[in-house]
Amino acid sequence: MAGCGGLAGIGGPSISDTEATVVEGQPVLVFDYEIDDFATALLEGPNGNVLYETRIEPEKNTSTLYMGQPQGGEYRILIREGGETLTTETLEFDGPELVLTDVSDNWSSNSLESVEVTIENTGDLPARIERGTYQVDENEAVSYISETVEPNESVSGSISPGFGVTEFEEPGLVEGDLTVETSVGNLSGEFSRDLKPASLSIAGVNPVWSSNALEEVIVRVRNSGDVPTEANVSVEHQGEEAAVTGVGIVDSGELVRFEATPFFNPYEVQSGGEAQFDVFVNSPSGRVSDEFTRDIAGADVSIESVDSTWESGRLTQVQYTADNAGEIEAEYDMTVEVNGETVSEGEVTIPPEGVSGQTLAEDSFTTSLDYAAASGGEYEVTVTLDTGDGTVSASDTVEFEGIDSTISEVDTTFFDQYDSNSSELSSVDFSVRNDGDIALRYDSVEIEIGGASRTDDPYGTQELEPGSSSMEYVSVRDSIVVDSGSHDLTIRLLLDGDTVASETTTVSTE
């Protein structure tokens, strides 16, 4: 941009520092001026027409003239008063130049959600972006962008359907064209995506049995393609249809649950031994299969032995052995109890005419244990199998001496209260040691002094193994105020509100 103009004499009216920019979304020319009295500033466009005029004041030195729809050519700023032109400034512009620099189509599976565009103005005047349109197949989306781009700047906009998204049901290449309407003409671009056909796989099969009767088969089907498809599931045993589903839709990227059931009554396997079932998923994209098996026999179960494993007073493993003298595979509800308290439940399967061992671990995926001895004494671990007609059980017993804790190295922090013979307990630090044979577990610390107590529980349950020690740092909330001097301080370790360890010591506020 170049400018030339005249001055009305040394120290007279002048125009300087002109700049084409955007104010409140509108293209404008901003300029500085000096005048001696009120005047009118005008802007003439390339065709000589007055585009805008405004009154200017001598007390100010900056003004703005709106340019309308800027175009390349010669512009003049004039300052007039009483029919006389006091000064002018001539400006030459190449005009706005818009370039579509980036097109990005955003998809979710087979759904075109939006098309993002970036437009850069490489010219020397602002330009207006009006709206964007994309067309793909017979679908069209229009979005109003309504942005003004300053020279050497970029703006981004999104083109999306007014409601929902644009979905494509068939695989193949999807090609789209887009148009961005601007104040200096239209910009064009394109985008494309190759949609993969539906591709089904079986992610999981879960048969539901009642003794030797198949009641239901839950099949999870995944579609790793880009488009949806219809599918149904059938289950066969020795070529005979045992269960079936209706037709369902498996969307792109989705995991869909199908529940296959027999036509009327549960499907019963009539012979013993291993029964194999074939699972088929049928769709226009093809057929995929999986299988599951089942041992069928009678049931007559007894528990031969139970062994429990403990670590620091925590039950970590229960192993039991059960004998099945029947002819049909046995499925039972299993319960593990410690001194009558249920610590684990689950379903167990014992094969026919044999001995089966099962190990329940503290971190087992299917059946977990959650029990810790809280004090010394005997602990009886009982495994019970519920046959439906009755129960069978067996036990294992262990004995612990209990917790032997020591609280020592007590350190307190007091602050003197201003203008009084009192001190404020701020914090208590101490060491805890466990010399027992079970873990010391606590979830809060209670501090008592001068007849007042505070409980601190900032960290959840702590577990101190036998033979180990730990430092505790307790900040006393709502600090306790006592007379200056010596006091008995009691520290209690609590678990679920019950005291599991305590110590009383004498401390001084000095």
**Residue indicated by tokens 């649950």:** 257
Question: Tell me, what's the pLDDT at 1?
Answer: 41
Cα-based distances in Å from 304 to 300, 312, 319: 13, 27, 11
Cα-based distances in Å from 29 to 25, 41, 53, 354: 13, 11, 12, 95
Fold of 98-195: Immunoglobulin-like (2.60.40)
Q: Where are the domains of the chain?
A: 2-93, 98-195, 200-296, 301-400, 405-508
- Three-state SS string over 91-159 comes to EEECCCCEEEEEEEEEEECCEEEEEEEEEEECCCCCEEEEEEEEEECCEEEEEEEEEEECCCCEEEEEE
Per-residue pLDDT tens digits for 453-462 = 999 886 788 8
Determine the Cα–Cα distance for residues 6 and 76; give it in Å rounded to an integer.
Answer: 11
CATH superfamily of 301-400: Immunoglobulins (2.60.40.10)
Averaged pLDDT score across all residues of the chain: 88
The 10 Å CB-count burial string (b at 16+, else e) for 268-299 is: ebeebeebebebbbbbebeebeeeeebebbbb
Tell which residue, 449, 396, 395, has the closest CA to residue 423. Answer: 449
Please answer whether residues 424 and 388 qualify as being in contact, where contact means their C-beta atoms are separated by less than 8 angstroms: no
336, HSE (Cβ side, Cα atoms, 13 Å): 28
Fold of 200-296: Immunoglobulin-like (2.60.40)
Question: Tell me, what's the pLDDT at 482?
Answer: 92
Please answer whether residues 107 and 136 qualify as being in contact, where contact means their C-beta atoms are separated by less than 8 angstroms: no
Determine the Cα–Cα distance for residues 332 and 343; give it in Å rounded to an integer.
Answer: 17
Question: Tell me, what's the pLDDT at 300?
Answer: 76
Determine the Cα–Cα distance for residues 190 and 178; give it in Å rounded to an integer.
Answer: 6
Determine the Cα–Cα distance for residues 467 and 259; give it in Å rounded to an integer.
Answer: 54
Residue type, 284: P
Is the model's pLDDT at 444 over the cut of 60? yes
**Residue indicated by tokens 């052995």:** 321
CATH superfamily of 405-508: Immunoglobulins (2.60.40.10)
Per-residue pLDDT tens digits for 54-85 = 999 999 999 999 998 899 999 999 999 988 99
**What pLDDT band is residue 103 in, cutting at 50, 70 and 90?**
very high
Determine the Cα–Cα distance for residues 52 and 353; give it in Å rounded to an integer.
Answer: 102
Per-residue pLDDT tens digits for 243-285 = 999 999 999 889 999 999 998 888 887 766 789 999 999 999 8
Question: Tell me, what's the pLDDT at 403?
Answer: 86
Residue type, 152: N
Lowest mean pLDDT among 103-107, 187-191, 269-273, 420-424: 269-273
Which two three-digit tokens encode residue 50? 């007055």
Q: Which parts of 196-313 are beta strand (E)? A: 200-210, 213-223, 229-237, 240-244, 248-250, 255-260, 267-268, 273-283, 286-296, 301-311
Question: Tell me, what's the pLDDT at 488?
Answer: 94
Question: Tell me, what's the pLDDT at 233?
Answer: 97
Per-residue pLDDT tens digits for 486-505 = 999 999 999 988 999 999 99
Q: Is 205 exposed, middle or buried (0-12, 13-18, 19+ CB in 10 A)?
A: middle
Please answer whether residues 67 and 21 qualify as being in contact, where contact means their C-beta atoms are separated by less than 8 angstroms: no
Q: Which parts of 150-184 are beta strand (E)? A: 154-159, 166-167, 172-182
- Matching fold, domains 98-195 and 405-508: yes
Determine the length of the chain. 510
Which two three-digit tokens encode residue 384? 């019970």
Question: Tell me, what's the pLDDT at 368?
Answer: 66
Please answer whether residues 216 and 130 qualify as being in contact, where contact means their C-beta atoms are separated by less than 8 angstroms: no
Does the pTM surpass 0.75? The reply is no
Determine the Cα–Cα distance for residues 418 and 90; give it in Å rounded to an integer.
Answer: 77
CATH superfamily of 2-93: Macroglobulin (MG2) domain (2.60.40.1930)
Per-residue pLDDT tens digits for 253-262 = 899 999 999 9
Determine the Cα–Cα distance for residues 497 and 474; give it in Å rounded to an integer.
Answer: 17
Determine the Cα–Cα distance for residues 121 and 469; give it in Å rounded to an integer.
Answer: 70
